[in-house]
Amino acid sequence: MAGVVLEDLTKRYDGGALAVNKLNLDIHDGEFVCLVGPSGCGKTTALRMIAGLEEISSGQVRIGDRVVNNLPPRDRDIAMVFQSYALYPHMSVRDNMAFGLQLRKLPSAEVRRRVGEMLEVVRLTALSRRYPAELSGGQQQRVALARAIVIQPSVLLLDEPLSNLDANLREEMRGEIRRLHDAFRITTVHVTHDQAEAMVTSERIAVMNQGRIEQVDDPHTLYTRPRTRFVAGFIGRTNFVEGSCNGEQVAFDRFALPRARFEGGAALEGKVVFSIRPQSLRLHRAPPAVRDFHVEVRVIERAYLGEFWDYVVVPCEGALRLKVTAPPLEVYGVGDAAWLELDPRQMAAIR
């Protein structure tokens, strides 16, 4: 196995369109990193340049201690899983898995051993003689993953491998991908547009926007401490609230919070935009004994989503709209008054 280093990686198409703009990323040996971002941000192009399927305009890709810019895909010691699975329809599950090993001219006994072990790992032994058309979408995806892993590549590349599955299968396969990574510790680069998929599978997430990386962090840090407005809005749902630093307080629309309670509060100055996640806010029916972190609000919208309520509230006599998530039993009607609890420690100052 080996790490992957991207240094000023750039892709410019004929006509001048810039798909990837001086991308820098260091992926450690055995690490699982997701590239996420909106359509057209350059994440798939970057993955294809790592794979050798897209010509590099400038910069370089290093896999282990080798610069691989000019190497064909077969010489990069990688395996790739595509959206379409790309299984050979005329081959059984077992033969699909064995194909890559046979190309490497491994002894037949070694091929049988490794394929048998992999069938056990992905729980497909009983289906080993079936053909792809006889499998469900989730089973086909497990075959595609197993076929890529069984050759023991230095780097595994995943190009939105779950996008063709329904919601329940996607959720199941997220856990399967992470389980396989934990078992084999192959350096993995995973491109997805699904933020939940990235949060579940990866050790770090790189959020891309317009060909550049805006932030790279572990999922918890990325979610709770986004550095930019784009990252905060792309990873999950959030509220953007503008405050003004005023002495010992940060003043908002019709309420204020102690400046000292914010992370890095001493460094805040002037007008600051904060990201507040809906689940970081709490609604209460009765006025609290200590009101430093509470503001009276009115419910103006609500939606029941089974696992939780989605409320929109506004401070009394204010115009600021805030989304709040509440458990199913905390039922408020439109027009009801409530007290909103805010925790400055869960409010991230962003650029």
Summarised one tens digit per residue, pLDDT across range 83-128 is 888 899 999 999 999 999 999 999 999 999 999 999 999 999 999 9
pLDDT of residue 348: 94
pLDDT reading at 29 higher than 80: yes
List CB contacts of 265: < 8 A, sequence separation 6 or more. Answer: 250, 259, 344
Predicted pLDDT of residue 190: 97
Q: Could you read off the pLDDT of 159-212 as tens digits, one per residue? A: 998 888 888 888 888 988 999 999 999 999 999 988 889 999 999 999 999 999
CB 114 within 8 A of CB 104: no
pLDDT value, residue 16: 78
| SS3 state of residue 169 | helix
**Residue 292: per-residue pLDDT:** 67
- Give the Cα separation of 237 and 294 in Å (integer): 22
Domains of the chain: 4-232 (3.40.50.300), 237-241+273-350 (2.40.50.140)
How far is CA 289 from each of CA 85, 118, 281, 292, rounded to the nearest angstrom? 59, 60, 18, 9
Taking residues 287-292, report their average pLDDT. 72
Helix (H, G, I), strand (E, B) or coil at 219: helix
Q: DSSP letter string over 294-305?
A: EEEEEEEEEEE-
* Res 319: pLDDT: 87
d(CA 166, CA 168) in angstroms, rounded, equals 6
Quick one: average pLDDT of 63-77?
95
Of residues 291 and 88, more confidently modeled: 88
Cross-strand bridge partners of residue 310 = 303, 325
Size of the chain, expressed as the number of residues it contains: 351
Cα 129 to chain centroid distance, Å, stands at 35
State how beta strands 212-217 and 239-246 pair: unpaired
The pLDDT of residue 255 is: 85
Distance separating alpha carbons of residues 268 and 48, to the nearest angstrom: 41
pLDDT of residue 78 exceeding 90, the answer is yes
- The pTM for the full model equals 0.91
Mean pLDDT across the chain: 92
CB atoms within 10 A of CB 244: 14
Would you state the pLDDT for residue 291? 65
